[in-house]
């Protein structure tokens, strides 16, 4: 028993004297709780919607008012021409468009079929469901209100249309996320570990004291993971198209270009990490904690960015995967072309430039 | 022009000075040994000379090139075997050798004659992964990889540590053969018997060179009488010696004790009688020739 | 009294016979040197003696306990120190002592008293609260040895204990060994420093799993007409077929 106690004590000493372990054991859970608590909210809050209202009568105005007043929705645009609807979705300006038919109130009171459409962006199936439900809830409330006022049975049955993902497949949302995660994992984590391994083993010393240019060493380390990533890219796309039936609605060419960019970006990140640490474990931990966790939580892969508190939304801007995933969604699922992803491409190019420069400056030609 | 030239090199880390005013020259074709315990600064010195570390002050030249300004040139012409076995454990013997040859822009065939004697011993295992080799074999492979590009200067940092005595002897035979080919070798070792095989040695401790000379001269510099004594009770022998007023310092040396006298003119029979009085039996006491280790110790216990 | 009694000990790994029928005895208070090239079977034999590995056949008794059936008792009655590991670097000096003493079942007040004594004897009181990682190598070794015999075992196993240490410290280390042997602790040591073999009362040399020589260094030197143990070792080990591959 005494042995056990003294051994236990020793283990506690080991843990508390190693700063890194403490960080992971005590600080990580706190960060995760905060992130999960605040960032992730499946409630619908301030979702942007647009309205097309040809009737402009008391019923439509009342419904629109209730939607706008609710915490869940924000009416940001009153559409004049129904042709604009598609554009709004493609530009990602709204998550839902309410389309009223003509003579809405009249039709309502005379028991004719009401015309009310809720068109939602179903790229994120869960979110689309939530939105539709909330909207339906508000409409049902109005229905109640009307019934009490007029003492006649009234039904408002909105037609729910799901754009881009009519079968509400979760896959549409997570395929881009998975792509981002895998490429980041292979390129950033594995590459950084491969470079650091030389340092850890001691073979880096021997390589440095040789004619081989350090730059070549790095490139040689990155190339295998680059190739692996390309293979994985092909595999994931293949599987998602043929097995999960996720369409590649847009340009395959630009999808590949954007993916290549992201691969380079991740490789640069891996290089940067390798200049910062000396052990493979540290490389792994940094890649895991600093890269993957935020990617999973803040990139929009699992939870919509719009739902997060503002400061986290701002942080999500510096997460490379966010831009890639957004570009992939636009290209793959919304079927958009180059013009839609110009912003994402520019941001990624900028990131590559910055990260590569820092890494190359930091890369040590000596051991000091 | 000397193969290695070191002038007033100093190197400090955060709270510890690793090298203090190091100064020496190594002519071409010589085997130069750094002898000293862990922490004496040997590895730091190696790293400065192979251009992996920058000294805080002082200058050094390898094969005529300045270690700071011309580091790229030096990296083309030296061979380096750092402290740990610097091989790729999951590559085979053959693959390791080929890799290092290519890194140095050469081929195995080009300089095969240089490593032939060494490689012969590991050739039967050429398809085996380096990680699966014994300590002695790994060391031979590492040496081959360091030689494959025919370096002018070879830096070996503790190449024989932890290796059995037989392999160690073989390794040194190889080094002597390399010297015959004109390669300058700087090697560090904690084993005093290996020190004797160098042309010149530097005794290092705590970042300083205590003495630098040929092995023979170093021994000569031990200018006190050295006495070896043994008896049937070694532990008591040591205590009794230390208690004796004539004895200056005494240490265990294998099967006997070595001690020096405060006054070199003291007759050792006096000591013998003293020990007989202390009831030691089978006393065997002689004046002996000192070795490198005796000299090293006399320098460290100032 | 015999602290080690080994009879026809064999250890096989599949078809490979690592230890091939060795027999020997070690008396109390002896300093016994266990030599051999890498791969000769030294480490395997030592592991069996420490109760860490079960013999394939043969008998062995260490500190009076059978190494096959009473291996836990063997472990509790021996001390062990190796070059690769001896103390926890991120623990302080006194914490290390307390930990290992606790593992061997010493009582709290005993530990405290003996710790004080030990630190005073080694002139180490000022380093009581120093992290082992901050001690110079020589001090680490000496401390490690003291910790390994802290619980007063009948026999202590030392596996290459003096690697990389300066000559003065090495000798001080051996003086500590002499003292321990004088106080009745048997010392079983392996080493690659042939001059250290000379410190031993008797030495055994293993080749290809078998003991090829066992005698005092003096007798061995006479027998092989050698200048020193290095020479003896070379003559014997030269014939080895296995060089640990």
CA dist B152 and B134 (Å) reads 28
Q: Which residues pair with A48 in a beta bridge?
A: A74
Q: Are B207 and B54 within 8 A, CB to CB?
A: no
pLDDT for A88: 87
pLDDT for C92: 92
Work out the average pLDDT over A323-327. 88
What's chain A's average pLDDT?
82
Q: Which residue intervals of chain B are DSSP H helices? A: 42-49, 71-77, 93-103, 112-122, 135-147, 165-180, 192-195, 215-220, 234-243, 268-277, 292-300
The Cα of C185 is separated from the nearest Cα of chain A by a number of Å equal to 23
pLDDT for B129: 87
Q: What chains are in contact with C, requiring at least 3 Cβ pairs below 8 Å? A: A, B
Confidence of residue C24 (pLDDT cuts 50, 70, 90): very high
Confidence of residue B297 (pLDDT cuts 50, 70, 90): confident
Residue with more model confidence, B20 or A317 = B20
* Shortest CA distance from C106: residue in chain A: A2
Structure confidence by residue, pLDDT tens digits, B212-265: 999 999 999 998 899 999 888 888 899 999 999 999 888 888 888 999 998 888
Residue with more model confidence, B13 or C37 = B13
Q: Which residues of B touch C237 (CB under 8 A)?
A: 164-166
CA dist B221 and C166 (Å) reads 20
CA dist B6 and C164 (Å) reads 25
Q: Are B5 and B25 within 8 A, CB to CB?
A: yes
Is pLDDT above 70 for A34? no
Q: Are A228 and A185 within 8 A, CB to CB?
A: no
DSSP H or E segment with residue B288? strand B284-288
Local structure of A116: helix, strand or coil: strand
Check CB contact of C219 with chain B, cutoff 8 Å. Answer: no
Work out the average pLDDT over C220-229. 90
Q: Which residues of C touch A5 (CB under 8 A)?
A: 102
* Shortest CA distance from C107: residue in chain A: A2
CA dihedral B24, B25, B26, B28 (to 10 degrees): 170
What is the Cα gyration radius of chain C? 18
pLDDT for C234: 85
* Shortest CA distance from A10: residue in chain C: C99
Of B40, B166, B254, the CB nearest to C237: B166
The Cα of B209 is separated from the nearest Cα of chain A by a number of Å equal to 23
pLDDT for C242: 59
Top-confidence range, A30-34, B151-155, C82-86? B151-155
Confidence of residue A144 (pLDDT cuts 50, 70, 90): confident
Is pLDDT above 70 for B80? yes
Question: Given an 8 Å threshold on Cβ–Cβ distance, is C90 in contact with A10?
Answer: no
In percent, the amount of chain C with pLDDT more than 90 equals 49
- Which of B69, B75, B104 to probe the A interface (max A CBs under 10 A)? B75
Q: Which residues of B touch C230 (CB under 8 A)?
A: 165, 193
Is pLDDT above 50 for C245? no
Question: Given an 8 Å threshold on Cβ–Cβ distance, is A367 in contact with B86?
Answer: no
Q: Which residues of B touch C165 (CB under 8 A)?
A: 37-38, 190
| Candidate from A36-45, B62-71, B275-284, C157-166 with smallest mean pLDDT | A36-45
Structure confidence by residue, pLDDT tens digits, A251-283: 888 889 999 999 999 999 999 999 888 888 888
Local structure of B279: helix, strand or coil: coil
Burial B244-262 (b: 16+ CB within 10 A, else e): beebebbbbbbbbbbbbbe
Question: Given an 8 Å threshold on Cβ–Cβ distance, is C105 in contact with A5?
Answer: no
Is pLDDT above 80 for A41? no
Structure confidence by residue, pLDDT tens digits, C113-161: 999 999 998 888 888 999 988 888 788 888 999 999 999 999 999 988 8
Confidence of residue A7 (pLDDT cuts 50, 70, 90): low
Is pLDDT above 60 for C243? no
Burial A331-343 (b: 16+ CB within 10 A, else e): bbbbebeeebbee
* Shortest CA distance from A18: residue in chain C: C90
Confidence of residue A24 (pLDDT cuts 50, 70, 90): low
pLDDT for B302: 61
Confidence of residue A317 (pLDDT cuts 50, 70, 90): confident
Structure confidence by residue, pLDDT tens digits, B40-71: 899 999 999 999 999 999 999 999 999 999 99
The Cα of A214 is separated from the nearest Cα of chain B by a number of Å equal to 11
| Candidate from A69-73, A276-280, C39-43 with smallest mean pLDDT | C39-43
Which residue, among C6, C2, C1, has the nearest Cα to C204 in the 3D structure? C6
Is pLDDT above 60 for C244? no
Q: How far is CA B56 from CA B9, B12, B24, in A?
A: 7, 7, 17
Of A206, A212, A368, the CB nearest to B80: A206
Q: Which residues of C touch A13 (CB under 8 A)?
A: 88, 90-91, 95
What's chain B's average pLDDT?
89
Work out the average pLDDT over B265-278. 89
Work out the average pLDDT over A337-356. 90
The Cα of C226 is separated from the nearest Cα of chain A by a number of Å equal to 40
The Cα of B48 is separated from the nearest Cα of chain A by a number of Å equal to 10
Cβ atoms within 10 A of the Cβ of B225, count? 17
Q: Are B144 and B93 within 8 A, CB to CB?
A: no
Q: In angstroms, how far is CA C156 from the centroid of its own chain? A: 6
Of A206, A365, A368, the CB nearest to B86: A206
Check CB contact of C243 with chain B, cutoff 8 Å. Answer: yes
Long-range contacts of B115-122 (CB under 8 A, 24+ apart): B115/B143, B115/B144, B115/B147, B115/B148, B117/B174, B117/B177, B118/B143, B118/B144, B118/B147, B118/B174, B119/B144, B121/B170, B122/B93
| Candidate from A182-196, A305-319, B27-41, C87-101 with smallest mean pLDDT | A305-319
Whole-complex ipTM: 0.79
DSSP H or E segment with residue B64? none
The Cβ-side half-sphere exposure at A223, using a 13 Å CA radius, reads 6
């Amino acid at each position: 028993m005494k042995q056990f106690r003294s051994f236990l004590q020793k283990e506690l000493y080991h843990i508390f004297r190693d700063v890194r372990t403490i960080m992971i054991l005590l600080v990580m859970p706190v960060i995760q709780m905060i992130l999960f608590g605040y960032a992730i909210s499946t409630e619908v809050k301030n979702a942007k919607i647009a309205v097309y209202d040809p009737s402009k009568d008391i019923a439509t105005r009342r419904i629109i008012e209730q939607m706008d007043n609710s915490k869940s929705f924000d009416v940001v645009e009153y559409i004049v021409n129904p042709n604009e609807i598609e554009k709004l979705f493609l530009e990602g300006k709204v998550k839902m468009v309410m389309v009223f038919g003509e003579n809405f109130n009249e039709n309502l009171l005379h028991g004719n079929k009401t015309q009310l459409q809720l068109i939602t962006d179903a790229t994120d199936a869960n979110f689309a469901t939530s939105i539709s439900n909330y909207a339906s809830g508000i409409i049902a409330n109005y229905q109640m209100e009307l019934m009490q006022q007029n003492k006649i049975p009234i039904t408002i049955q909105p037609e729910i249309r799901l754009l881009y993902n009519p079968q509400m497949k979760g896959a549409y949302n997570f395929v881009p996320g998975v792509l981002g995660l895998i490429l980041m994992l292979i390129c950033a984590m594995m590459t950084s570990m491969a470079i650091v391994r030389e340092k850890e083993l001691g073979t880096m010393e021997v390589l440095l004291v040789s004619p081989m240019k350090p730059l070549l060493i790095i490139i040689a380390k990155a190339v295998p993971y680059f190739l692996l990533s390309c293979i994985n890219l092909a595999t994931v796309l293949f599987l998602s198209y043929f097995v999960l039936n996720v369409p590649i609605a847009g340009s395959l060419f630009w999808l590949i270009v954007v993916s290549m960019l992201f691969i380079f970006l991740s490789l640069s990140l891996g290089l940067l990490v390798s200049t910062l640490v000396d052990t493979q474990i540290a490389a792994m931990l940094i890649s895991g904690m600093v890269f993957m966790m935020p990617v999973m939580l803040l990139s929009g892969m699992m939870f919509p960015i719009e739902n997060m508190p503002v400061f986290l939304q701002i942080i999500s801007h510096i997460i490379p995967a966010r831009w890639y995933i957004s570009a992939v969604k636009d290209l793959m699922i919304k079927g958009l072309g180059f013009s839609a992803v110009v912003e994402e491409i520019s941001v990624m190019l900028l990131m590559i430039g910055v990260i590569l420069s820092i890494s190359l400056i930091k890369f040590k030609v000596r051991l000091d | 022009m000397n193969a290695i030239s070191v002038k007033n090199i100093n190197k400090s880390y955060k709270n510890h000075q690793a090298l203090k005013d190091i100064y020496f020259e190594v002519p071409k074709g010589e085997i130069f040994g750094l002898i000293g315990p862990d922490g004496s600064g040997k590895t730091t010195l190696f790293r400065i000379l192979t251009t992996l570390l920058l000294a805080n002050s002082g200058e050094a030249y390898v094969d005529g090139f300045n270690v700071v300004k011309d580091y790229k040139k030096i990296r083309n012409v030296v061979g380096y075997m750092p402290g740990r076995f610097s091989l790729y454990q999951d590559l085979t013997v053959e693959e390791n050798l080929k890799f290092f040859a290519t890194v140095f822009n050469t081929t195995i065939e080009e300089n095969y004659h240089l490593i032939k004697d060494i490689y012969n011993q590991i050739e039967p295992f050429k398809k085996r992964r380096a990680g699966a080799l014994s300590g002695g074999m790994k060391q031979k492979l590492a040496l081959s990889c360091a030689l494959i590009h025919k370096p002018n200067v070879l830096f070996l940092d503790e190449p024989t540590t932890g290796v059995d005595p037989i392999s160690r002897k073989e390794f040194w035979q190889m080094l002597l053969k390399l010297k015959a080919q004109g390669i300058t070798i700087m090697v560090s070792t904690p084993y005093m018997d290996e020190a004797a095989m160098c042309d010149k040695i530097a005794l290092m401790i705590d970042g300083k060179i205590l003495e630098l000379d040929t092995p023979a001269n170093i021994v000569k510099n031990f200018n006190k009488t050295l006495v070896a004594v043994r008896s049937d009770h070694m532990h008591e022998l040591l205590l009794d010696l230390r208690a004796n007023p004539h004895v200056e310092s005494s240490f265990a040396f294998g099967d006997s004790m070595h001690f020096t006298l405060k006054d070199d003119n003291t007759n050792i029979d006096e000591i013998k009688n003293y020990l007989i009085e202390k009831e030691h039996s089978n006393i065997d006491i002689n004046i002996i020739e000192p070795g490198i280790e005796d000299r090293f110790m006399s320098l460290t216990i100032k | 009294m015999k602290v080690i009694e080994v009879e026809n000990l064999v250890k096989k790994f599949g078809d490979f016979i690592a230890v091939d029928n060795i027999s020997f005895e070690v008396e109390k208070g002896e300093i016994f040197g266990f030599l051999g090239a890498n791969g000769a079977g030294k480490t395997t034999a030592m592991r069996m003696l420490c109760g860490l590995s079960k013999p394939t056949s043969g008998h062995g008794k260490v500190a009076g306990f059978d190494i096959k059936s009473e291996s836990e008792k063997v472990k509790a009655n021996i001390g062990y120190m190796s070059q690769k590991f001896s103390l926890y670097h991120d623990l302080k000096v006194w914490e290390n002592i307390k930990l290992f003493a606790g593992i061997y079942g010493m009582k709290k007040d005993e530990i405290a008293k003996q710790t004080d004594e030990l630190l005073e004897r080694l002139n180490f009181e000022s380093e009581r609260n120093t992290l082992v990682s901050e001690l110079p190598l020589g001090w680490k070794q000496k401390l490690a040895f003291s910790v390994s015999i802290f619980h007063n075992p009948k026999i202590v196993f030392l596996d290459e204990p003096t690697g990389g240490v300066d000559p003065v410290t090495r000798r001080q280390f051996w003086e500590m060994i002499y003292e321990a042997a004088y106080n009745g602790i048997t010392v079983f040591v392996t080493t690659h420093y042939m001059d250290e073999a000379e410190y031993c009362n008797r030495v055994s040399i293993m080749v290809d799993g078998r003991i090829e020589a066992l005698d005092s260094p003096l007798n061995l030197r006479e027998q092989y007409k050698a200048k020193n143990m290095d020479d003896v070792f070379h003559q014997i080990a030269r014939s080895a077929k296995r060089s640990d591959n």
